[in-house]
Amino acid sequence: MNTRREFLSQSLAGIGALSLASQSVFADTIASKPPMRFIFMHKGNGLLPESLVPPTFNKQQLEAEKRKDAFVADLDDHDLPEWMSPLAAHKQNMTILQGLSGKMCTTGHHTWCSSLGAYKANERLSSIKWATVDFELADLFPSPFYHIELACFPSEGGNSRGNIDGIEKGFSARGPQQPNYAFGSPKIAMQELFKSVSADQDARTRYELERKVLQFLSNDESSLAGPLHGIEQRKVANYADALNDIRQRNGRVEAMGDIIRKHIPQLDAKYLADKLSTVDRQSGLVEVLLSTLISGMTNVVAFTADELGTRYTGLPGIEGESVNLHDVGHGKSIGGVEALDIRDKVRNQHMTLIDRIATRLKSVPEAGGTMFDNTMLFYLPNNGETHHSKGSEWPFVVLAGKNAKLDISRRYIRLPGYDQQGHKTLGNFYTTILNAYGNPIDHYGAMDVALSIDQKGPIVHFL
């Protein structure tokens, strides 16, 4: 049994991209209505709400912001915070969203599936209550790989337990007790995602061997599940389902091999090295992200830019330093740079990645426009408002193309503060997104038992 588990975790790498009922293999023939794409990019160590406030707000707006009173401002009338400067060219597509809360999540240092699932979760499989919102969207816009997750894993604590180059549990979930798996380096992502169309003979031979082993293991796991009961039966059945899904996925990917070959990332050797800086790791993973979207392999990507235990290297201005984000969270300066300034540098690095994603997608023609027209990107913290978060605020930066179905672009939106009338939660926001794109769910996510106000349903004025 251990050999099978190791095979799934270390070799096949695709359990995080399962459930493959896809119509987007034929996307080229349905050019009149391309699918929507969704990118969830999240960061560790919190996202300070005050850092998102435009420096050009007037006194009245600043006072309302301080009181957490609801208001809306036109971003065309304001400068972005300096760390957001890489997104200046995309301001017409941007939303700065403040005021959502997430106290129904696990908060503090690590949140696991909480930030995308809106429920309390930890490292135990039993804590995963349902599919995270990105997987719900993947159901609405299916693709050959269904969903792809990439991560700059931490070397100290958190999800990967130090296996930063491998394939480990990510921040998404396919369903109850079903964690997703993420690729930890550009090299491993390239090897696993594009192996079916590889020109390397060794890679092709390995792929053919895996196909045969998959068939054997799938049949074997299915037979094992029969005499078991309860959670053990569920576990083995999940493995069998995962194996079958990988087999189906591989078949669909093979059918679109010519398209995928056109979009295989041409990565510089430094991105494929065994040792690379955090900044280079992020850049390489973004290239993989773009290739999987542009080729049609997936319509939904989750990308962990960093986690609390990520040792940052390569940050502009302090390239030689190994930045401990936990220390930064406790206000410690590093390399003579104050903690708040390091936070700015980290967020600015993330914005350069988002700029690259948006700019590239805007350059790809699609159905009389561009791919970006049919894309939404969400940038959020994976643990709320600060280092030791309480979940009282969960800031978002959203970039959306013109065909997005949420009416929020070009605005700074401050929703009512926690427990004020009209206050909204992560669950409300995710319900809004799902409702907008075809899932009429009454409410997504767990309830915050401390809130005294009605907290069910979508944010109607966003629709």
- Per-position pLDDT tens, the chain of length 463: 444 344 444 444 443 333 333 333 333 434 468 999 999 999 999 999 999 999 999 999 999 999 999 999 999 999 999 999 999 999 999 999 999 999 999 998 888 899 999 999 998 889 999 999 999 999 999 998 899 999 999 887 666 667 899 999 999 999 999 999 999 999 999 988 887 665 566 655 565 555 555 455 555 545 555 565 566 666 656 666 665 666 566 666 666 778 888 888 888 999 999 899 999 999 999 999 999 999 999 999 999 999 988 899 999 999 999 999 999 999 999 999 999 999 999 999 999 999 999 999 999 999 999 999 999 999 999 999 999 999 999 999 999 999 999 999 999 999 999 999 999 999 999 999 999 999 999 999 999 999 999 999 999 999 9
Three-state DSSP state, 378: strand
Task: For strands 178-183 and 167-175, give the pairing.
Answer: antiparallel
**What is the reported pLDDT for 251?**
64
Amino acid type, 388:
H
Give buried/exposed letters for 275-301 (b at 16+ CB in 10 A, else e): ebbbbbbbbbbbbbbbbbbbbbbbbbb
Locate tokens 């939404």: which residue? 376
Tell me which long-range contacts 159-166 makes (C-beta under 8 A, separation of at least 24).
Answer: 159/110, 159/112, 159/123, 159/307, 160/184, 165/274, 166/10
Task: Determine the distance from the C-alpha atom of residue 171 to the mean position of all C-alpha atoms in its chain, rounded to a whole number.
Answer: 8
Per-residue pLDDT, 31 = 45
- 156: alpha, beta or left, given left = phi > 0 and alpha = psi -120 to 50? beta
Instruction: Please tell me the pTM assigned to this model.
Output: 0.86
Specify the residue for token string 């693709």.
143
Distances (CA, A) of 377 to 77, 372, 398: 23, 10, 6
- Per-residue confidence (pLDDT) for residue 108, from 0 to 100: 86
How far apart CA 82 and CA 106 sit, in angstroms, is 31
